């Protein structure tokens, strides 16, 4: 199921869209990953099925907002820190665009040309 919340983002109407799997949300700066080199961008994510449940408080905040208990409580943390969400700026009337939510059950490398084994 996909969840969304209408917000204003830098003076633009937008949506926060997420998969609603808050129990697996670590936050972009807290999610465990495998580092391949000294380059901070040379990493690979660890898929959901290899990780346990994320902490209720992963230690990251946006303003006074922390990770919510469920997608119904979407807030600034979801918009700026959650790796499971995406901000989509709404197009003008008649516009359109593709919305894609990443599948956290699969591995991906941040820098495919360097990462991997």
What stretch of H or E contains 41?
none
Alpha-carbon dihedral sign for residues 46, 108, 39, 81: negative
Tens-place pLDDT, residues 93-114: 555 566 666 777 777 777 766 5
pLDDT higher at 92 or 79: 79
pTM confidence score: 0.76
Q: Where are the domains of the chain?
A: 3-89
Q: How confident is the model at residue 115 (pLDDT cuts 50, 70, 90)?
A: very low
Tens-place pLDDT, residues 5-15: 999 888 888 89
Range scoring the smallest mean pLDDT among 16-20, 25-29, 70-74, 86-90: 86-90
Residues 41-70 have a mean pLDDT of 93
Residues 58-66 have a mean pLDDT of 92
């Amino acid at each position: 199921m996909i969840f969304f919340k209408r917000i204003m983002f830098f003076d633009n109407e937008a949506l926060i869209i997420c998969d609603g799997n808050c129990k697996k949300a670590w936050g972009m700066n807290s999610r465990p990953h495998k580092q391949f080199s000294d380059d901070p961008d040379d990493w690979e994510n660890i898929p959901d099925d290899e990780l346990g449940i994320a902490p209720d408080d992963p230690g990251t905040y946006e303003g006074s907002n922390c990770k919510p208990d469920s997608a119904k409580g979407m807030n600034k943390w979801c918009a700026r820190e959650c790796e499971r969400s995406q901000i989509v700026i709404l197009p003008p009337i008649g516009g359109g665009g593709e919305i894609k939510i990443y599948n956290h059950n699969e591995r991906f490398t941040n820098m495919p040309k360097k990462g991997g084994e």
